[in-house]
Amino acid sequence: MLKPIIAFCATIVSAFGISTAYAGDPSPKTQSFLVKPGDLIIKKGESGWSAVKILEVDPWPDGSSAAHCLTYESTDSKPTVESLKQARVRIWHAPIDARSFSKGWELIGNQTPTKEEFSGFIEYLKLTDFPRYISFTGKDSKEIVRKANEHYQKAYALGDQGKRAEAIAEYGKAIDLFPLYYEAIDNRAFTYMELGKIQEALQDFEASLRVNPNGMAAFFSRGECFMKLGQLKAAEAVFQEGQTKFPEKRALFTKFLEQVRALKRDG
């Protein structure tokens, strides 16, 4: 296991006819309107009326922008500002290329998003942009890290006692508080491996690497998971890359690379 450390580092809506990818390069002149926070927009489609509420709009370097949206269930009748107050939410948050709303969408009003409506966006920030999450919510980052580390320490102690299921639960609490806590993610993954839950461990190691791409332990262990799952081609790619990515551990990666290739030869 890793030593306890306090670390602080900084399909979705296809049914609506919306794309999360760039849709060509329309100029602002072709847009029917530019969406802004609070906008309620609707569109008539083959399966009925679609409705979206814009929560936030983030500019992109190329001059376009991402709209953070709340989407409602489709209806047969045309939505109104009043009817949407009672409408069922389909997706609480989806980041969408704002240019997807350039044609066919109608603006019917603007209402400031409520705290409940912001819940999906806030969770998104927590996982993708923690400093902005802190700024947006006004939470105390030091207190969050302190509580997360308490759960980490408790989980570490439980692991030493052989109480692995309980340790996993405590690591989960630490990660939920502070998603950038890659030491907790790694330790939970190692605990999953001890229980033989290799797929769960692999998912955690991959999550850890998204937070800390240069984490050697997570990178190497990801290769181990692929080996145990019989995904030898993927394991080979990991160990081969590791030889150059982590030159100080080249011998270790080479040893496992040879083992994987031997397994491949033996079928």
pLDDT in tens, 60-92: 887 789 999 999 999 999 999 999 999 999 999
Mean pLDDT of 243-247: 97
Mean pLDDT of 213-220: 97
8 A C-beta contact, residue 58 and residue 66: yes
pLDDT in tens, 143-158: 999 999 999 999 999 9
CA distance 212 to 121: 23
The pLDDT value recorded for residue 117 is 96
The pLDDT value recorded for residue 6 is 34
H/E segment holding residue 110: strand 106-110
Class of domain 142-266: mainly alpha
> Residue 108: which of 74, 71, 83, 76 has the closest Cα?
83
Average per-residue pLDDT for the chain:
88
Candidate from 39-43, 100-104, 247-251 with smallest mean pLDDT: 100-104
What does the angle CA 52 – CA 46 – CA 12 come to, to the nearest 5 degrees? 45
The band of 33, judged by pLDDT with boundaries at 50, 70 and 90, is low
